[in-house]
Amino acid sequence: MSLLEVSRLDAFYGDMQALFDVDLEASAGEVVALIGANGAGKSTLIGSIAGTVGSKLGTITFDGKPLAALRPWDVVAHGIAVVPEGRRLFPSLTVEENLLMGAHARHKQARTLKDIYSIFPQLERKRKNLATALSGGEQHMVAIGRALISNPRLLMCDELSLGLAPVIVQDIYTILGTIRSLGLTMLIVEQNVSRALAFADRAYCLQEGRVSLSGPTAQLTHEDVSNAYFGLKAGA
């Protein structure tokens, strides 16, 4: 049985429907990439799983337990953490204080600061600095560390590489490789399609709120992905 299962999910913002009959699953220890153009519904899907999108129909289960009606902090307590698009750090707090914010709603025993600093040693050196005074790449590390300290089983990352220089993106994905070795399941929203497919085990493409393609990344051709991304028919 999959660790995460999303079945026939519809999601709404008021009268506007953003997701249509979406199915998605992720097995324990698997990295799943979620790709698609701006407005395709990727962040809405992340928010639906995390409990921040309240108007939805369908089922979301995690380790066999239903999530669809839970509040965001209860979702975290079940073992799911999000690295949000834009990082959303607390500007008045230091690096260390931002990290500790992630331990308040935690799954079982939270990781310690020592655990986080072992993954991000540069953050320990800057732990007393205001988090928003760091470089963009370091701020991403704080956001990832804040999610990891809650000791999740599923880590969802929304647009990690957005706005970062290629060398910083490489550093972030090297860190994600370390996190992957810890056995975490990951759902990664990414506009850098090549990067996402190279890193993930499986991928889903969303197009106008619907799944247009899914499968193991090793079996997806460039043509398949391009057609699904842009809503083209095969051979068109």
Convert the chain into a string of H (helix), E (strand) and C (coil). Answer: CCCEEEEEEEEEECCEEEEEEEEEEECCCCEEEEECCCCCCHHHHHHHHHCCCCCEEEEEEECCEECCCCCHHHHHHCCEEEECCCCCCCCCCEHHHHHHHCCCCCCCCCCCHHHHHHHCHHHHHCCCCEHHHCCHHHHHHHHHHHHHCCCCCEEEEECCCCCCCHHHHHHHHHHHHHHHCCCCEEEEECCCHHHHHHHCCEEEEEECCEEEEEEEHHHCCHHHHHHHHHCCCCCC
Q: Quote the mean pLDDT of the chain.
A: 90
pLDDT at 109 over 80: no
In percent, the amount of the chain with pLDDT more than 90 equals 62
Query: How much is the pLDDT for 234?
Result: 53
Query: How much is the pLDDT for 166?
Result: 86
Query: How much is the pLDDT for 73?
Result: 87
Categorize the per-residue pLDDT at 110 as very low, low, confident or very high, splitting at 50, 70 and 90: low
pLDDT at 139 over 70: yes
* pLDDT single digits (tens) 203-225: 999 999 999 999 999 999 999 99
pLDDT at 5 over 80: yes
Domains of the chain: 4-230 (3.40.50.300)
Taking residues 107-128, report their average pLDDT. Answer: 86
The pTM assigned to this predicted structure is 0.89
Query: How much is the pLDDT for 107?
Result: 55
Taking residues 43-70, report their average pLDDT. Answer: 91
pLDDT at 163 over 80: no
* pLDDT single digits (tens) 188-202: 998 889 989 999 999
The most distant pair of C-alpha atoms in the chain lies apart, rounded to whole Å, by: 56
Query: How much is the pLDDT for 233?
Result: 63
Query: How much is the pLDDT for 236?
Result: 46
In percent, the amount of the chain with pLDDT more than 70 equals 95
